[in-house]
Chains A and B, each alone.
Chain A
Amino acid sequence: MPRTPDDSSGDSVARRSTRTLTRFLANRRTAQYALAGLGLVIAATLLPLQFLGVSGASGAAASSSPAFIIAYAVVALSILACEVPRVSSMLRRLSRGQAVAPKASGSAIACATPLASGEIARVLRAKGYRRLATTDEAVWGVRHAWAPLGDLMFHFGILLVMAASLASATVARHEATRSYPVQSVTSSAGAARDTRDASRVLRGYTLKSVRAFMDGKVITDLRAVVTDTAGRDWSVEPAAPLILGPGKLLLVDGWGYAADVSLSGTESVSTPFRTTVRIPALHERATSHPLFIAAGGATYRVTLTVDDSRLSARTGRPSLHTARLPRIRATVGVREKDGTYRLVERDVTLARSRETTVAGIVLGLTRQRPYAAVRTIESWSILPMLLGLTAITVGLIWRLGIGRRDAVVERRATGWHVSVKADAYRLATAEAERICRALEGR
């Protein structure tokens, strides 16, 4: 179908706009401003939150603010626009069979060597230089010719990490945490103190046992054993997860005490009752469990709260560092005729050694059992993140640790001179001195 003049102009406008945008994003000044912009957004939005004591979840919320997302996207697009055009030109340049003669450097080192150019080439080869070119007046070669690719690898690694972080924070994630009674608690002396059966099926894996090792009141190690469908045992520890498959992890997330709270009616409650409520896992900050108890014609609301001050400041959870028992507080209200609850008692601390009576209800801690939280995570961010982190590491080692060096040894009126053009991270003079020493047989 023939194109109309309108189509063609529309097409060219779109193409021109794309080209202008790409040029803008690939501009080195844009790259600098984008980095500075992201820094400013972080400093303006996320830094103040820290000193207001609302980090963590609020920090995550601030990192999904429009300003942050725009700054983040501009940095990512700028990296993409800068690096993609470099790929083909760099590959073309690097795949050349022979090194291009570098321009004679003004800071060449005079070298008192009696060798001829052929022998100089052999010395350079012995020093790791390849793609050697030799004339009567000069010898030149390149070492680690492909090292500049580390630069590309690093930047694409950053892009992968940025994409994976975004995916992790938005959609590509499924997470489930369950708490399981710990089978045995072992002191540092090795004596088992408690053993319970705790087999449960976990996504095709059976949790066989969870053991905790203690030193004083600190859990120094936590080991779970899971069995797969083939009957093989796998060990899982904190910070040493079991990889179930691509992007799937099984973790022993933490440790904590689950509390059994008994509630019973006394003489003042016309219908005696006794019940036990288990707060299944004390893994969250300030967990609250409202209970409604109908007794003696009245309805009571009992709220059990894990004392926040007992949680680790580092993790926000009671489980990861210390095995001390968290304090549990109860707040009791009684229902009025209008449906509201009148506060009878607020924040009564429950103790194991004694029972507490509030409005005729006897509250007591009957048992606190150790629990381990076992968690499965499925996230599409894991693979790209690991790939990105690997690319960043390899890229940095390649670029900084190895680095490309172009050396030229040329004959001048005063004798042979060595000059080295090294990449930005190497000291060219030091390399030239090294070659000179080899040429002089030192």
Chain B
Amino acid sequence: MITASTFDLVWVTAAVVAAGAATVTLAIGSHRLRVWAPAIHVAATTAILAARTMQIGRLPVFGPFENTIVAGWAASVVIAASCFSAPTAIKDRLARALAPCVPLILVAGAAFSRSKGLMGANERALIGYAHGYVGWFGFGLFLSATVTAVLVLRAEGRKDSDGETLSAHLFRLLCFGFAWLTATMASGALYSFLLFSDWYQWQIVEVLSALIWLGYALLIHAHLLFGWKTRRLAIGVLAAGPLLLATYWIWSFLPITYHYFGGS
């Protein structure tokens, strides 16, 4: 176990390191540094995750502040994997565009209380953790997809030859994000049934999840059936952006849902 002040120290240090890595990536044109930035972000967010786990005695997943920790960690892992597995031609560009994401998520954590919340009896379930972590990985994938969509549009505007490669990568992210979102909703349905004997409760989070799921399903079908790619696909992904943010973050602010863990 570590104290709250020790955790705060780890959190601030790791956030500063992550922000520094992002700044260096954006400001300096060194390819080597850019490749290292995602790895530094993974290390920084893992340190925060580990420190929080040691502080509260369980994996963080409940509450707005813990949302930023898990979201930052999942996003850093997804971004690193995305940059690593992307074709060589677009790796550098992806690393640079995605660099600010993780520090921004970590900085958003400063807006929330860092106090340790206790878990109620119903919250002590493996499926609850699975639901949370799978969900944030989905968020990381969609966040990467949204940033990649901007790159696709820029490449199209400049008649860049990498537009097609970026578009293929965007579609790949979209598909994997869709898979993780589906898994999130499936695990959530199971958890909901165990707690309330209702598979789906149509509260704000469920309504928005259904909408974003249908939206991404439409985009995937549009690509597969109607050949939507590059510009159209990118615009579609960007149009879904606000809904994506609302789905994953509204329950950090709105206490009208049982997804809210800001206080009992």
Contact = CB atoms under 8 A, between A and B. Distances in A.
A32 B259 contact: no
Nearest to B197: A377
B121 A396 contact: no
B87 A320 contact: no
Nearest to A376: B197
B225 interface: yes
Given A35-B218, A400-B176, A55 B257 contact: yes
Contacts of B199: 164-165, 168, 381, 385
Given A36-B218, A39-B211, A320-B121, 7 more contacts: A43-B211, A50-B204, A165-B200, A238-B124, A312-B258, A315-B122, A393-B183
Contacts of B258: 312-316
12 contacts: A31-B221, A39-B215, A42-B210, A50-B207, A55-B257, A168-B198, A220-B118, A238-B122, A239-B128, A322-B120, A381-B199, A425-B175
Contacts of A213: 121
A59 B221 contact: no
Nearest to B221: A32
Interface string A406-442: 0000000000000000001111011000000000000
Interface residues of A, number: 68
Interface residues of B, number: 59
B197 A239 contact: no
Which of the listed residues A46, A239, A316, A389 has the most CB atoms from chain B within 10 Å of its own CB?
A: A239
A197 interface: no
A430 B89 CA distance: 12
Nearest to B225: A28
Interface string B230-264: 00000000000000000000000001111111001
A396 B183 contact: yes
Contacts of A321: 120, 122-123, 264
Contact of B121 (A31, A220, A389, A429): A220
Those 5 A-B pairs whose CB atoms lie nearest each other, nearest first: A59-B202, A239-B125, A314-B258, A321-B120, A222-B121
Contacts of A212: 121
Given A56-B201, A430-B87, A425 B190 contact: no
A255 interface: yes
A212 B208 CA distance: 35
B195 A239 contact: yes
Interface string B163-176: 00000110110011
A28 B121 contact: no
Interface in B206-221: 207-208, 210-211, 214-215, 217-218, 221
